[in-house]
């Protein structure tokens, strides 16, 4: 059950929307999310737990008064026509800005909002708790890299850290297509152009058609939510670019099936051929609560990751439709930087980053994790 958190008095800054008082509350308490719903007080998520603010329940009039000034005419039309709208909301403090990824939607005829606070300081791999192999994956010269996971699993942050790694080391052109923009980059060794759908470009298709004509080395296509977006991303990878994208999938092996589901069955053979030779890596991740010691040191959540890289064995399994053997192959090639969730969880427990109970809640197999913690390695069956 959500518990209450004191709503310290925060005066709204002159000439800014009234809703910013609530966003500033989230910033003050270093919460990750803001939740607004008619009939209950405003709430925020602190270290993974939803807590109500000590404020009166919101009314329909409150929500309309707070939310409508945040919307552009285009966003208002999308909300009215589709029942929900994604957008970015920015709070300025002098030269500093805090960005929120916002989804405003209707439920039971009333407005609700969920906003995720996005850290504008892009952390490095070590700061996020990601394995060093991420640097090698980010340094590929062409192909497609997919980040898989549910909403809120940290995919966007991981991709931002990969792009920033390149930005600090390589002289190249990076083009991002996002809806909305979540992290803002400062050009370092690279030139980075960020386009927000609906503001900088009319739609995804137009943005991706433009992107391949803009002399890019790297393209971020954001969420690959449909056939057209994935096809455009794959085309960009086939023509010599490094492409990053995200997809909703629970594991690295299941990502292959999730992509195939976007297309009719008669297209699957050609799609498998394209994936086998252009897919560079799939990184699936889940975000977990850290131990009290880590949280006290400033890291309240950490990703557990599953990494599948396309070597000759993975390529053959994809081509032969042996997706059920991909998980075994990942465990077989640890020396190439591959890792399944069980091994990732084991490492986080040993490093005292997460509690055992937390790991067991998300482990694909509790028994396999218990055996891994005892140092017992399960013999791998024949892959080929």
Q: What is the predicted pLDDT for the residue at 121?
A: 81
User: What's the confidence (pLDDT) of residue 1?
Assistant: 46
8 A C-beta contact, residue 75 and residue 68? no
DSSP string, 26-73: HHHHT-SEEEEEBTS--EEEETTEEEEESSPPBPHHHHHHHHGGG--H
Tens-binned pLDDT, residue by residue, of the chain (384 aa): 456 666 655 555 667 899 999 999 999 998 989 999 999 999 999 877 899 999 999 999 999 999 999 999 989 999 999 999 988 898 988 777 888 989 999 999 999 999 988 766 888 999 999 999 999 999 999 999 999 999 889 999 999 999 999 999 999 999 999 887 878 899 999 999 999 887 788 888 889 889 989 999 999 998 888 898 899 899 999 999 999 999 999 999 999 999 999 999 999 999 999 999 999 999 999 999 999 999 888 888 999 999 999 999 999 999 999 999 999 999 999 999 999 999 999 999 999 999 999 999 999 999 999 999 998 876 556 665
Query: What is the pTM assigned to this prediction?
Result: 0.81
* Predicted local confidence at residue 179, as pLDDT: 81
- Strands of 301-309's sheet, edge to edge? 191-196, 173-178, 218-223, 242-247, 143-148, 279-289, 301-309
Buried b / exposed e along 115-153 (16+ C-beta atoms within 10 A) = bbbbeeebbebeebbbbebbbebbeeebbbbbbbbeebb
Query: Exposed, middle or buried by CB within 10 Å (0-12, 13-18, 19+), for 305?
Result: buried
Q: Give the CATH architecture of domain 125-373.
A: 3-Layer(aba) Sandwich (3.40)
Q: Are 355 and 304 in contact (CB under 8 A)?
A: no
Location of each CATH 3.40.50.300 domain in the chain: 125-373
Which part of the chain is CATH 3.30.450.90? 3-118
Q: Does domain 3-118 have CATH number 3.30.450.90?
A: yes
H or E element that contains 93: strand 84-93
């Amino acid at each position: 059950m959500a518990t209450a958190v004191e709503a310290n008095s925060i005066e709204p800054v002159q000439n800014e929307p009234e809703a910013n008082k609530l966003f500033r509350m989230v910033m003050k308490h270093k919460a990750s999310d803001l939740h607004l719903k008619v009939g209950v007080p405003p709430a925020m998520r602190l270290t993974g737990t939803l807590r109500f603010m000590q404020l009166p329940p919101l009314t329909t009039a409150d929500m309309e008064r707070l939310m409508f000034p945040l919307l552009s005419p285009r966003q208002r039309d999308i909300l009215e026509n589709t029942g929900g709208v994604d957008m970015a909301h920015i709070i300025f403090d002098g030269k500093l800005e805090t960005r929120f990824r916002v989804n405003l939607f209707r439920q039971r005829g009333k407005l609700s909002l969920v906003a995720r606070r996005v850290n504008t300081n892009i952390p490095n791999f070590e700061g996020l708790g990601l394995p060093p192999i991420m640097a090698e994956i980010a340094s590929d010269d062409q192909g497609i890299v997919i980040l898989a996971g549910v909403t809120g699993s940290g995919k966007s942050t991981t991709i931002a850290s990969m792009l920033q790694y390149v930005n600090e080391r390589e002289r190249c052109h990076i083009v991002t297509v996002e809806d909305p923009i979540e992290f803002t980059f400062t050009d370092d060794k690279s030139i980075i152009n960020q386009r927000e759908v609906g503001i900088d470009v009319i739609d995804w298709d137009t943005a991706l058609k433009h992107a391949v004509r803009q002399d890019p080395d790297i393209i971020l296509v954001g969420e690959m939510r449909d056939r057209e977006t994935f096809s455009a991303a794959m085309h960009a990878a086939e023509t010599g670019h490094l492409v990053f994208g995200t997809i909703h999938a629970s594991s690295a092996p299941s990502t292959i099936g999730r992509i195939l589901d976007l297309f009719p069955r008669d297209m699957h053979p050609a799609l498998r051929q394209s994936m086998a030779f252009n897919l560079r890596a799939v990184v699936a991740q889940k975000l977990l609560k850290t131990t009290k010691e880590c949280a006290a040191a400033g890291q309240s959540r950490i990703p557990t990751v599953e990494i599948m890289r396309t070597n000759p064995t993975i390529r053959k399994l994809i081509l032969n439709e042996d997706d059920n053997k991909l998980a075994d192959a990942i465990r077989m090639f640890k020396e190439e930087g591959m890792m399944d969730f069980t091994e990732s969880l084991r490492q986080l427990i040993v490093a005292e980053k997460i509690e055992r109970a937390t790991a067991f809640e998300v482990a694909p197999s509790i028994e396999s994790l218990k055996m891994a913690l005892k140092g017992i390695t399960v013999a791998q069956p024949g892959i080929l």
